[in-house]
Amino acid sequence: MHCLVTGGAGFIGSNLVDRLLALGHDVTAYDNLSTGFRRFLAEAEKQPRFRLIEADLLDTARLTEAMKGVDFVFHIAANADVRFGTEHPSKDLQQNTIATFNVLEAMRANGVSRIAFPSTGSIYGEAAVIPTPEDAPFPVQTSLYGASKLACEGLIAAYCEGFGFQGWIFRFVSVLGERYTHGHIFDFYRKLSADPTKLHILGNGRQRKSYMYVHDCIDAMLLAIEKPQGKVTILNLGSPAYVEVNDSVGWITGHLGLKPEFTYEGGDRGWIGDNPFIYLDVARIRALGWEPKLGIREGILRTLDWLRANAWVYESRQ
């Protein structure tokens, strides 16, 4: 089939593009290259079944044109910057909520009706139930990022009901692996490269996080779209385990052979709106036959090794 991947030059998007091409699909990547890297698509661009459209999701004319002949949309593009949402509140509205509306309208204009969408475990706010199931008590949002993903989920579900779309909504924990270009491992490795003798940590280091390896994440999405559960399929995707930030710090510094002095800032959360503990109940996706292939520690170290071998991503992020 012909898949359109928004954010196709990004971390998760480009890994998905490569996988879809390997499976024999035609792939259009749609990306404005604001945070994605054309270099991530070097292998994809060698294939005739691939095309990159360098354009913005707010450019509805280009988007509608790009959607022609598409069978399935993976709408991966997003402002994924949870932490700095309050510095530019319109970013989540524009790049997440309005962009998703534009994707849905471009689909409708072209008779495209199937969409997979990465949402976030942040949507559960300060979850009342942990591990948090998909039908947890109606949450209260704690970040602009979570609020915008909630808005996108609502839009997709309403299009499924109102326009006969079929949607898959995946609520992710943090994802890591090859081509990871933001987040705590990215930040820690940059800081340690600049000064191996100390490491400053946001929060008290006891924040518990449940990371997922990018190829496990892609496995889960591709499995789920083969097994729709109705108009809207909502699935948590995450590891059936969690670690503390301090665990991660220990593995990273140990792997690098460093013994920095640690300093901490803030209490049980790294910043306003940070969730000290996002841990999702992944029983639904496991019941479909999915199991992660990589543990959290292995995922962290594989990410670290990729960053060490690809220092250019730091230079490009200046």
State the nearest-atom distance from the C-beta of 229 to a second copy, in Å: 11
The amino acid present at 14, given as its one-letter code, is: S
Q: Which of 30, 145, 211, 242 is catalytic?
A: 145
State the nearest-atom distance from the C-beta of 237 to a second copy, in Å: 16
Q: Which residue has the tokens 């988007």?
A: 63
Whether the CB-CB separation of 127 and 230 falls below 8 Å is answered with no
DSSP 282: -
CA atoms 45, 35, 103, 19: torsion sign = positive
Nearer to a second copy, 167 or 299 (CB): 167
| Nearest residue to 203 via CA among 137, 283, 270 | 270
Which stretches of the chain bind a second copy, using CB under 8 A? 85-86, 89-90, 93, 97-98, 101, 104-105, 108, 124-125, 128, 134-144, 146-148, 150-151, 153-155, 157-159, 161-163, 232, 234, 272-273
SS3 (DSSP) at 5: strand
Nearer to a second copy, 125 or 238 (CB): 125
State the nearest-atom distance from the C-beta of 103 to a second copy, in Å: 12
State the nearest-atom distance from the C-beta of 225 to a second copy, in Å: 18
Distance CA 165, CA 159 (A): 6
Whether the CB-CB separation of 278 and 210 falls below 8 Å is answered with yes
DSSP 29-53: EEE--SS--GGGGTTGGGSTTEEEE
State the nearest-atom distance from the C-beta of 304 to a second copy, in Å: 31
Nearer to a second copy, 115 or 199 (CB): 115
Angle, helices 296-309/245-256, rounded to nearest 10 degrees: 50
Is 145 an active-site residue? yes
Nearer to a second copy, 64 or 181 (CB): 64
Nearer to a second copy, 161 or 298 (CB): 161
Whether the CB-CB separation of 64 and 106 falls below 8 Å is answered with yes
State the catalytic residues.
Answer: 145
